[in-house]
Structure 1
Amino acid sequence: MTHTELVHFFQHAARYPTALREQRNLLLDTPQPREAAVLLATVYRHRQWQLLLTRRADTLRHHTGQIALAGGRRDPQDLSLIHTALRETAEETGIGCERWQTFPQLPPYYTPTGYAVSPVPAVCPYNPNTQANVGEVAEIFYLPLDFALHSGNYTRREFQYNGRTLHVPALPYRHYDIWGLTAMILYDLAERYRQYRQAV
């Protein structure tokens, strides 16, 4: 995928619906969720587009060791959810906000902990240097975008909440087990890309 094609997709990705997100949000509906945002941080590395992912530090109180997109909760001083995603990414990975070209945020995903998490697509046309915040991030690694956009690479797992069960995606990659909200966002990105390709 060329830079122009990737930018065009990210400019329009939010317009494509994803049924599984809607089912999951109905299951996890929260009256007044707290806002959060994550960055779908896409860099050009080793002659291909790759998504930057983190493995959360084992010292954190919640979600220790899980694979995540960089991001976090919205602070009162954040001007927007895009600002939230960029600020949190800078804090976690050391990549400055000015490195990214951002695009319209995707619709939010509810979490069992009461958050509404909005993914923000972003592109850096080279491979920026990183400096992991060891208090939050145990490892920074990269997932080829082509791999994430191929729905056949995903498996299914049972997600149970309040006595109800939903089959949700997981994404095995090398020795990493990508599941939960991260896998859901990536799977939906693949679904959005499928619809985008049919439309253009």
Structure 2
Amino acid sequence: MPFIAPTDMMTTSELTRFLSLAAGSPVARETLRNRILQEEARQWRQAAVLLPVVHDGTQWQLLLTRRADTLRHHTGQIALPGGGREAGDADFTQTALRETCEETGLPADAWQTFPVLPPHYTPSGYEVHPVPALYCGRNPPEPQPDSREVAEVFYLPLTDALNPARYGERLLETKGHRISTPTLSYRHYDIWGLTAIILYGLAERYQAHLRQAV
């Protein structure tokens, strides 16, 4: 079935409706990858990331970060703001908002959040819960990234993130399986790994949302 190209004219109401329903749309490719990674029983470390959508006055965009070069793991990679769940976090939404504030300086009360998407499992042992969110503070936002964790904050047009045709593929070898995983190139940024997997899952959910609306 051909892809339906997303439009950059999506209203706030249309975007809010999609984000409100996104968690209820299963994604076959995502489910298969999770099943393969879960074959080995283990104690998963819980984490959450924010899927932060903002409007710059012209179009909807996703806020992404480039991890600091001084970090021990995933140095310099493109990431969604987030991190590990702490004992005092009431839920995954609080984890994602707390970590986003720590990394970017954007406060928790500046976001309207939506139902948490199904978790993703990683070869490194994390169970990561994506939390869709819409920025409702001053537009455009003025992030103040923590240089110890974040080298750069930048924005990816939401129309690119939601268009499956924009993605390429790489093979991931894990647990004796070769899994095709999505990648996304934007300007000089190479978006891959878990970030690209989460974004591609959002794109597939948006395709399902558009077809239901036809």
Q: 1:111 aligns with which of 122, 144, 147?
A: 122
Q: 1:94 aligns with which of 97, 102, 105?
A: 105
Per-residue deviation, residues 71-115 of structure 1 (Å, max 9, x unmatched) = 001000001100000000000000000000000000000011111
Residue in structure 2 matched with residue 161 of structure 1 by the alignment: 174
Residue in structure 1 matched with residue 31 of structure 2 by the alignment: 22
- Report the residue type matching 1:115 in the other structure: Y
Residue in structure 2 matched with residue 13 of structure 1 by the alignment: 22
Give 1:24 shift.
1.2
SS of the counterpart of 2:173?
A: strand
Gap runs ≥5 in structure 1: none
- Report the residue type matching 2:151 in the other structure: A
| Number of aligned residue pairs | 200
Partner Cα distance (1:167, 1:105) in 2? 25
- Report the residue type matching 1:16 in the other structure: S
Residue in structure 2 matched with residue 145 of structure 1 by the alignment: 158
CA RMSD of aligned residues (A): 0.9
Residue in structure 1 matched with residue 5 of structure 2 by the alignment: none
Partner Cα distance (2:155, 2:184) in 1? 13
Residue in structure 2 matched with residue 187 of structure 1 by the alignment: 200
Q: TM-score, normalised by structure 1?
A: 0.98
Partner Cα distance (1:123, 1:18) in 2? 22
In the TM superposition, 1:70-89 aligns within 5 A as: 70-89=81-100
Runs of 4+ in 1 over 6 A off after TM superposition: none
Give 1:46 shift.
4.2
Partner Cα distance (2:64, 2:28) in 1? 24
Partner Cα distance (2:195, 2:140) in 1? 22
Gap runs ≥5 in structure 2: 1-9
Partner Cα distance (1:172, 1:128) in 2? 24
Give 1:163 shift.
2.3
Give 1:164 shift.
1.3
Q: TM-score, normalised by structure 2?
A: 0.91
